[in-house]
A and B are shown apart, each in its own frame.
Chain A
Amino acid sequence: MQISGAQMVIEALIAEGVDTVFGYPGGAIMNVYDEIYKQNSFKHILTRHEQAAVHAAEGYSKASGKVGVAMITSGPGFTNAVTGLADAYMDSIPLVVISGQVPMSLIGTDAFQEIDAVGISRSCTKHNYLVTDATDLARVLKEAFYIASSGRPGPVHVDIPKDVTAQIAEFDYSVELNLETYKPHTKGNPRQIKKAMEAISKAKRPLFYLGGGIINSNAAYDVRELVHATGIPAVETFMARGTLCHDDELLISMLGMHGSYAANMAMSETDLVIGLGARFDDRVTGKLSEFAKNAGVIHVDIDPASISKLVKADFPIVGDVKNVVKEMLESVSLINPSKYESWRDTIKNFDSLHPLTYHEDTDRLKPQWVIQRVGELLGDSANISTDVGQHQMWTAQFYPFSRPRQFISSGGLGTMGFGFPAAMGVKVASPDKVSINFTGDGSILMNCQELMTAVEKKIPVINIILNNNYLGMVRQWQTLFYNKRHSETDLSVQPDFVKLAEAFGGIGYRVHTKEEFDAALKDAVEKNIVTFIEVVIERLENVMPMVPSGGSLFNMMLLERKEKK
């Protein structure tokens, strides 16, 4: 079939089963947009900023498990998208991002809207391509989708010069992929798995350490089975929230810098860490030399480079966590769940000593209450996105997650401005669930232009702005570690968030009380239009408990106890 490069892009997207593309047109990508105009196999969602297009594709991918697709133009279109690429790279989100480039004849001449896009994206993508001939397009796009979604997933960037999208050439998408140099290990070594299971059966205080890889490999329900069959307690990383249901007896909580006391103490006391798809991130481990100091380490990961990168693994298992967990289940009879009863009791004691909680001791609403309240009212019927900061940690701590892919947040890169566009992508992928974005008064302004996209495309994201008039997380560090010098974090000067939402055609609420909040949320869910619910919260609330940066997990700053009146 002889078609143009631009048509090839469309044909490839259709062949990959893409139903939604997020993007923003411009000069160098116009040929492709002309073909988008002519087709109706997939929908295109015009965001109002390229960064938002990529974040929306990420949200779409995280909620659906499919590859997210974003399309942008050259130069500034591309550079705006870089934050999204980096975010997806850090959190292993499969994306294919297609950018226009100036024509081949102009590359290297500092042409209008020219930038060395693949040079920039090299360090923040799993792989990238500059396509110099349309005859390569079928192979490149097919490889891009395969590389993005296989092994440890990640974003793949494809840069296409304008003359290549105009070039007529033969197109055959049935080309066989022949990637001699890329063969991800998906099946774990059976002998290693057996050894690991034997080690677990001998351990006295083993602990599951569940990571985001479980969500990526759709292994959450297998992991639930393994946890229940073994009776071994589990901690979740931020990225793994929802792997176990919030009311699971064996789920301790999240661990790490803002993890619960019980989770961090369990990690400090365990004699065998069973790491599944987790990467021992610095926000999880605290001081490395003190992390799980007396424990052996089983580490299951699809990325060999993640194993023994920070914490030496005694039982390294390279493989897809789903395959490995299934194989572990086969020899699960080795393990006697009743053996760990006193260990489970120890952990329960940790939890009753310093439970994850907060004090309702001020006139203003507490952010934790708001999050718990949304959990009570919407629970499983909502998907929860967040921006980055205090509200993000409170959400991870207090929302009752009940399933994988329910929680969508920027973990590795910590990108403010991620939440709203991501929540749009989540809503598009999962229209039957309410899409909530917990955000802060700092973060929301970093992509608030997406109100326009949400209004135009009728994507009813409910943004709950926990407004403390501070860049809260930085303010918290300044309070605790910089002797209360609140340098440039006071956000007292603010827009009228209600009017801002209304100016775009959305709905805005400002609430001060529990009753007002309940009424606003109920109304927002019913009206089914993009919403800002601004919740005026206690200004100086801190995220607690906290492991100070570089400190040991067992050395936490804890919530002050209050005498009951």
Chain B
Amino acid sequence: MQDESARRVISVIVVNEASVLSRITDLFSGRGYNITSLTVAPIPESKYSRLTIVTSGSIRVIEQITKQLHKLIPVLKVYEHADLVEKEMALIKFPISENITDIATLCAAYNGKIVNVGDNVFIAMVADEPKRVENLLKIISRYNPKEIVRSGAVALER
């Protein structure tokens, strides 16, 4: 049995045109579906963009979301991913007083490194599976991060 509100990742290929993002987000809010994260960027050398939406719901709800997305005129394709490679990036800002070596080592374990060092703060970057990013964020909480930015997930079918 799958969890009633299991996490799902949906990719949507849309025509790059005005208000296409609103059409998608309006559909989610209008029909009472959740968006956990949403990323969007143009697909190179095409007139399309790719959205990666992380949402949650039962199989039935996800099936409706997929069908409703398909109904939107500028939507080319909708994939509901089962077998996929998924990555998310996070940027984390620390006070300069924190142990930079420890943090750098930790980040390295999560496909990351220190990307900027200033007078008062330094910034680390990680890019990994969303679950692992979450894990890292838990661990580094003891280093008093000042700010954390997550990108939301991007995904590709294997």
Contacts and interface: CB of A to CB of B under 8 A. Distances in A.
Interface of A: 118-119, 122-123, 126-127, 130, 132, 147, 179-182, 303-305, 308-309
Interface residues of B, number: 19
A132 B30 CA distance: 27
A127 B26 CA distance: 13
A147 B30 contact: no
Nearest to B67: A305
A122 B25 CA distance: 11
A180 B64 contact: no
Interface in B71-85: 71, 73-76
Nearest to A128: B19
Q: Which 8 A-B pairs have the closest CB atoms?
A: A305-B67, A127-B73, A181-B76, A123-B30, A182-B73, A304-B67, A305-B68, A122-B26
Given A119-B22, A123-B26, A181 B67 contact: no
B71 A181 contact: no
B132 interface: no
Contacts of B100: none
Interface in B33-69: 60, 63-64, 67-68
Given A123-B30, A308-B63, A309-B64, A118 B71 contact: no
Given A122-B22, A122-B23, A305 B73 contact: no
Contacts of A303: 71
Contacts of B64: 305, 309
B1 interface: no
Given A180-B76, A305-B64, A122 B19 contact: yes
Given A122-B22, A179-B73, 8 more contacts: A118-B19, A122-B19, A132-B18, A304-B67, A304-B70, A305-B64, A308-B63, A309-B64
B89 interface: no
B75 A181 contact: yes
A95 to B, nearest CB: 16
Contacts of B68: 305
B108 interface: no
B140 interface: no
17 contacts: A119-B22, A122-B19, A122-B26, A123-B26, A126-B73, A132-B18, A179-B73, A180-B15, A181-B75, A181-B76, A304-B67, A304-B70, A305-B67, A305-B70, A308-B60, A308-B63, A309-B67
A430 B15 CA distance: 41
Contacts, number: 38
B158 to A, nearest CB: 25
A181 B70 CA distance: 9
Interface string B107-139: 000000000000000000000000000000000
Contacts of A305: 64, 67-68, 70-71
Nearest to B76: A181
Which of B30, B67, B76 has most chain A Cβ within 10 Å? B67
Contacts of B75: 181
A119 B111 CA distance: 41
A181 B23 contact: no
B2 to A, nearest CB: 16
Contacts of A304: 67, 70-71
Contacts of B30: 123
Interface string B9-38: 000001100110011001000100000000
Contacts of A179: 73
Contacts of B15: 180-181
Given A123-B26, A308-B63, A181 B73 contact: yes
Nearest to A304: B67
A86 B42 CA distance: 32
Contacts of B23: 122
Contacts of B26: 122-123
B73 A130 contact: no
B26 to A, nearest CB: 5
Nearest to A122: B26
A127 B74 CA distance: 9
A472 B66 CA distance: 41
Contacts of A147: 73
Contacts of B71: 303-305
Contacts of B18: 130, 132
Contacts of A309: 64, 67
Contacts of A118: 19
B22 A181 contact: no
Nearest to B65: A305
A147 B64 CA distance: 21
Nearest to A118: B19
A463 B10 CA distance: 51
